[in-house]
Amino acid sequence: MSMLTLNGMIHSVFTKPESKDRETGEIRPATSHAQILCDNVLESGEIRSDLVTLKVHDMDAFRGLIHQTVRVPVGAFVAQGKIQYFSLKTEPTPLH
């Protein structure tokens, strides 16, 4: 079971093409991503919508749930001062 879960509506799914690292010249393979629209409850009780882009393992599992509200187990790390999320190797669970 994941300690972190992202809940929201799958907005889009896309493939990021392979790229080349400018410093090392290393080729990065193409990756699959899903964008999830999440409601973030602020301290004031107001809600801010955030679009979170996740790297995913099974693009078809996410593509089949576009415009549906789901629960996705995620991991997180900080890069360039921002929290970055990634999907764990599990499929999203639809919320009814």
- Token reading at 17: 């093409």
Condensed to tens digits (0 to 9), the pLDDT of residues 5-64 reads 999 999 999 999 999 999 999 999 999 999 999 999 999 999 999 999 999 988 999 999
Spell out the domains of the chain, with CATH numbers in brackets.
4-16+30-94 (2.40.50.140)
Closest CA to 54 of 73, 79, 81: 73
Question: Contact, 74 vs 6, CB < 8 A?
Answer: yes
3-class state of residue 60 by DSSP = helix
Q: Which two tokens stand for residue 93?
A: 């669970």
Contact 91, 61 (CB under 8 A): yes
* Residues 71-93: tens digit of each pLDDT: 999 999 999 999 999 898 888 89
CA–CA gap between residue 56 and residue 51 (Å, rounded): 15
Q: Is the pTM of this model over 0.85?
A: no
